[in-house]
A = this chain, B = another copy of it.
């Protein structure tokens, strides 16, 4: 805002109140946060009652949160913030010389102890409804297109009720997730579910914000994937079903065009009526190429 209706030094004074012992990164973050929060209040002529409604929403989010649920995170998600910081973090990691591992952007349902399975295994157990998919492909070098042998591919997805196994007492442990190694041709394969769309929990403040914004709570169907190989930048991603009705209006804004895939009919396989071929391209550590 170029002009303030109020004391023009107010925001600078709040920023200058930080003492010399403030850690530099914290000072950088708070300086930008204070400036934007104040500009937001001035731009909208935010009243005490409106601000207090927001405070109550934030407090309610904390009160709903526990080991199994993070409503503060969800409130950020529905305004696109997690998706944005994920993108920022990923770019920073890709640009860094020493490519720090991208553990931070794995999402809440990743498990570090995911069990190893054999190529061709079925990760689906005891799920009602849903369509079976034979998913397969290669892990290849983004630059040379050569297959990467013994690369790791890890996948996880929600069940047809919208729940991941650790959220759902009805599912067996490690259901709908697995860790695979590519064979001598760089190939991986497994049977999984065609993912189904599910709503984010809408019984708290995030649901209230969504309703006020006249939006639905659904996330488009997706499968989480991580691929790693020594000497290459790890890839953490989600792939989305091109037929999904929520593809263009994901409630948490995580869809990118390059991550949309087609499930096609599969003939002569009693285990699956659908097939998905998906090659995963990894970028060598020394490459300047970005996320692919």
Interface residues of A (CB under 8 A from B): 5-7, 10-11, 13-14, 17-23, 26-30, 32-34, 36-52, 55-56, 58-65, 70-73, 76, 79-89, 91-92, 104-105, 209, 212-215, 249, 253
How close is A174's CB to chain B, nearest CB, in angstroms? 25
Interface contact A82-B51, CB-CB below 8 Å: yes
Interface contact B44-A87, CB-CB below 8 Å: no
Beyond contacts A29-B50, A47-B85, A62-B65: 7 other A-B pairs, Cβ-Cβ < 8 A, are: A5-B88, A13-B80, A14-B253, A41-B88, A42-B88, A60-B62, A62-B62
How close is A197's CB to chain B, nearest CB, in angstroms? 16
- Please judge, given known A-B contacts A30-B213, A43-B32, A62-B60, whether A14 and B79 are in contact too, CB under 8 Å: yes
- Please judge, given known A-B contacts A48-B105, A84-B10, A89-B48, whether A26 and B72 are in contact too, CB under 8 Å: no
Residues on B with beta carbons closer than 8 Å to the beta carbon of A65: 59, 62-63
Residues on B with beta carbons closer than 8 Å to the beta carbon of A72: 55-56, 58-59, 62
Interface contact A40-B48, CB-CB below 8 Å: no
Q: How far is the CA of A28 from the CA of B213 in the complex (A)?
A: 11
User: Which B-chain residue is minimally distant from A48 (CB atoms)?
Assistant: B104
User: Which B-chain residue is minimally distant from A88 (CB atoms)?
Assistant: B45
Interface contact B30-A46, CB-CB below 8 Å: no
Residues on B with beta carbons closer than 8 Å to the beta carbon of A17: 213, 215, 249, 253
Interface contact A253-B215, CB-CB below 8 Å: no
